[in-house]
Amino acid sequence: MTTTILAVGYQQNWWDILTSSFMRNALIGGTLVALAAGLIGYFIVIRSSAFAAHALAHIGFPGATGAVLVGLPVGVGLTVFCVGGALAIGALGKRAEEREVATGTVLAVAMGVGLLFSSMATKSSSTVTNVLFGNLLAVTGDQLVGFAGGVAALAAVIAVVYRPLLFASVNPAVAEAKGVPVRALSVVFMVLLGVAVAMAVQAVGMLLLFALVVTPAATAIMLTARPPAAMAVSAVLSVCAVWAGLVISAMFNMPPSFPIVAIVGAIWLLVWLAAERRHRAPAAA
């Protein structure tokens, strides 16, 4: 058995690649996914729901492989299972401890079903690879329509529930005492998270999803304490990382997921180091 190693190096015709139709779809799709990640990422961080985001990506795995079995688009299966898993977690877990248990339980069941579907589907190999690592360069027109609808739905719902959701996220006990429907908002948030995760998995894969959905938001929170500004900064960082990652992908013949993740990780590290240095300066003085 021989192994073929993909040559990574500077490509003279990178501009032609960057202006091609498939790269144009990747730029549009990546931008839409990045906007969705920026909108929901802030709430993921302040609600300490990073594990739920990571778990939902894995819960979408049986949806993707199951879609292959029945001949449906992978994106449909991902969305159905991510949103279904989000509803199950939101309904089963009222308190943080219960959510952790519910998330772990649903994750375990979903992964088992995913492995079963994967073994039954003869064409699942490429699907599994795409779900694990993403395939932004293969985004289709139908997926772009789905991404646009997902971003529009996320923006509309967040605009409606922004204030009560923020209150319930920052101080759920006080919010509940004030009559805010904390449980219902938790379910709404999980559904929004499921939609965003289903989109992001198709771009960077479930193994690298954390970097696009959580890391820009964590970076933004270190830069500003104002929620609207943090959401805007998170979205801008995500979009810029996707664009830069696609340019690097075209220039050096590599999958875009790695440079996207490397860029957001490097920005987070630089901001964190700057914040640490700023905090230590008054103490030293």
**Domain assignment present for 3:** no
176 domain-assigned: yes
Q: Residue 94 is part of a domain; what is its CATH number?
A: 1.10.3470.10
DSSP 3-state of 255: coil
Mean pLDDT for the chain overall = 86
Within a domain: residue 70? yes
Query: pLDDT of 137-161, one tens digit each?
Result: 888 888 899 999 999 999 999 999 9
Q: Which residue has the tokens 């970097």?
A: 211
In-domain check, residue 283: no
Q: For residue range 12-51, list pLDDT tens digits in order.
A: 888 898 889 889 999 999 999 999 998 999 999 999 888 8
What gap in Å lies between CA 136 and CA 32, rounded to an integer?
12
The per-residue pLDDT for 212 is 87
In a domain, 275, yes or no: no
Position 3 pLDDT exceeds 70: no
Task: Give the span between the Cα atoms of 42 and 165, in whole angstroms.
Answer: 12
Q: How many residues does the chain have?
A: 285
- Specify the residue for token string 């190693």: 5
Question: Is residue 278 in some structural domain?
Answer: no
Residue 112, in any domain of the structure: yes
The predicted-structure confidence for 215-229, as pLDDT tens digits, reads as follows: 999 999 999 989 999
Element (H, E) at 69: helix 50-70
Tens digit of each residue's pLDDT (9 = 90 or more) over 85-106: 888 887 776 566 666 777 788 8
Task: Report residue 1's pLDDT band, with 50, 70 and 90 as the boundaries.
Answer: very low
Q: What is the pLDDT of residue 109?
A: 85
CA dist 168 and 132 (Å) reads 33
For residue 87, the number of C-alpha atoms closer than 13 Å in the C-beta half-sphere is: 6
Q: Over the stretch 175-218, which tens digit does the pLDDT of each residue have?
A: 999 999 988 998 899 999 999 999 888 888 887 788 889 999 99
Query: What share of the chain has pLDDT > 90, as a percent?
Result: 41
Question: Which residues touch 163 (CB under 8 Å, ≥6 apart)?
Answer: none
- What is the total count of domains within the chain? 1
Instruction: Tell whether 4 is covered by a domain.
Output: no
Q: Which residues constitute the domain of residue 55?
A: 14-208
